[in-house]
């Protein structure tokens, strides 16, 4: 362990397992550790660093806004917040926006909005249907919403009002719906659950069912939004429009922010219903605005679509070579390799040694989520490192 890792072990509250590298600098798709070793970063802060590390647009927005105004209360107007709200509304199917500090807070706000809607329009209905293998955040309510028992069991009893059902099954949603149901909350593609892509008709069926029963459809786009799937928002991939959408992660290129957006009919908050001390502060909103404006003006989503196709083709070639790769799944630059055994940690460790940062999203699956501005040469280099790692793990574990 390095000095910094020893200090972390002494002072930091351990909540997860870190990979054994201390990152001190980043530029674009590359990062460097304390010893000067270079890595390709295909984790990107867990789909956060949408423009890569220390992009000039992000740096300029941070320094420029920090020299003018960093924080004021939401009891006053300020320009960056209004600019970002306008840009999001103009480029989505939404009509209202509100800003918070994280994706979990955005989802909390969405749940409050849906419950308020239920009180006003659905005879007090409050329950929200979510999917198994979903991930909606780490607050106590969002742990209840998240359909993964491993996150729920340490913290029971959980807040009531959430029903977890099978993903990609309209029948499961229909069966779970009753007079207490006010909304369905889904990720267009499940990120933390293993990059699970629904069939093309699923979200259309959910939309139709919500319309039939008068329910709200909430799309958690915290990981899939802002270009990650090859369209600006994930819902655009499936031909549906949600009533409420949440954003976070890549919205401000690495700076903490979350967003709650809604159509006018679902925007039922009144003064005093919701609030945030730091949410929507000038610094976060200025960075979010400039990041989103750059993504739109430079058509970054086209790069995501093009490089996502190239990444998938490369993965399919690996699948044909290594029989223990059982599935390639994902869209755009949110992809996963599925293995027929729990070797993800071994592959990730070997890739780390070779200069590639990856995420073992499950014991038998690896997630790939590079910055949206990644270049073909960087993808090809990552594939080369990954190929060598797969060969080594296959040899060590006698998989071929």
Residues serving a catalytic function are 135, 220, 249
- The distance in angstroms from the start CA to the end CA of the chain is 34
**Burial (CB count within 10 angstroms: exposed 0-12, middle 13-18, buried 19+), residue 313:** exposed
| Residue in 137, 115, 136 with CA at minimum distance from that of residue 124 | 115
Q: Where are the beta strands (DSSP E) in 92-225?
A: 96-100, 127-131, 162-165, 181-186, 216-220
Which residues contact residue 208 at a Cβ distance below 8 angstroms, ignoring those fewer than 6 apart? none
Q: Rounded CA gap, 216 and 211, in Å? A: 8
CA 214 – CA 181 distance, rounded (Å) = 10
> Is the Cβ–Cβ distance between 215 and 184 less than 8 Å?
yes
In angstroms, the CA 305 to CA 311 distance is 10
Tokens 């867990």 — which residue? 46
- How many Cα atoms within 13 Å fall on the side-chain side of residue 370? 29
For 177-191, letters b (16+ CB in 10 Å) and e give beebbbbbbbbbbbb
Spell out the residues 6+ positions from residue 222 whose beta carbon is closer than 8 angstroms to its own. Answer: 103, 106, 107, 187, 246, 247, 248, 249, 258
Identify the H or E element spanning 359: strand 359-362
Question: Residue 230 is encoded by which pair of tokens?
Answer: 């090859």
Q: Is the peptide bond before 157 cis (omega within 30 degrees of 0)?
A: yes
Q: Which residues pair with 98 in a beta bridge?
A: 260
């Amino acid at each position: 362990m390095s000095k910094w890792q020893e200090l972390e072990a002494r002072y930091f509250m351990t909540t997860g397992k870190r990979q054994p590298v201390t990152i001190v600098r980043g530029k674009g798709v590359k990062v460097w550790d304390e010893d000067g070793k270079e890595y390709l970063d295909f984790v990107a802060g867990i789909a956060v660093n949408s423009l890569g590390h220390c992009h000039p647009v992000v740096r300029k927005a941070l320094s420029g806004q920090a020299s003018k105004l960093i924080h004021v209360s939401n009891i006053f107007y300020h320009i960056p917040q209004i600019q970002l709200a306008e840009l999001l509304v103009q480029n989505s199917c939404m009509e209202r926006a509100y800003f918070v500090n994280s994706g979990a807070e955005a989802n909390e706000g969405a749940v409050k909005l849906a419950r308020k809607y239920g009180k006003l329009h659905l005879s007090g209905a409050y329950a929200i249907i979510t999917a198994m293998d979903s991930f909606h955040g780490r607050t106590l309510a969002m742990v209840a919403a998240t359909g993964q028992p491993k996150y729920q069991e340490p913290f029971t009893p959980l807040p009531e009002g959430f029903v977890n059902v099978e993903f990609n099954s309209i029948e499961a949603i229909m069966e779970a719906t009753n007079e207490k149901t006010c909304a369905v909350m889904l990720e267009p593609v499940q990120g933390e659950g293993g990059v699970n892509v629904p069939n093309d008709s699923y979200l259309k069926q959910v939309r139709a069912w919500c319309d039939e029963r008068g329910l709200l459809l909430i799309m958690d786009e915290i990981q899939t939004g802002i270009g990650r799937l090859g369209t600006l928002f994930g819902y655009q991939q499936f031909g549906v429009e949600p009533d409420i959408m949440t954003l976070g992660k890549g919205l401000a290129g690495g700076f903490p922010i979350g967003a709650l957006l809604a159509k006018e009919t679902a925007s039922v908050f009144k003064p005093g219903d919701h609030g945030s001390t730091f949410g929507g502060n000038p610094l976060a909103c200025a960075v979010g605005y400039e990041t989103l404006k750059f993504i739109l003006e430079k058509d970054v989503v086209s790069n995501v679509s093009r490089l996502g196709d190239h990444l998938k083709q490369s993965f399919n070639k690996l699948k044909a070579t290594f029989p223990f790769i059982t599935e390639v799944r994902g869209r755009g630059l949110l992809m996963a390799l599925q293995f027929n055994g729990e070797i993800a940690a071994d592959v990730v460790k070997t890739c780390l040694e070779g200069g590639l940062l990856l995420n073992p999203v499950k014991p038998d699956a690896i997630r790939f989520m590079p910055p949206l501005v990644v270049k073909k040469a960087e993808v090809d280099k990552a594939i080369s490192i990954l190929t060598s790692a797969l060969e080594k793990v296959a040899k060590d574990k006698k998989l071929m």
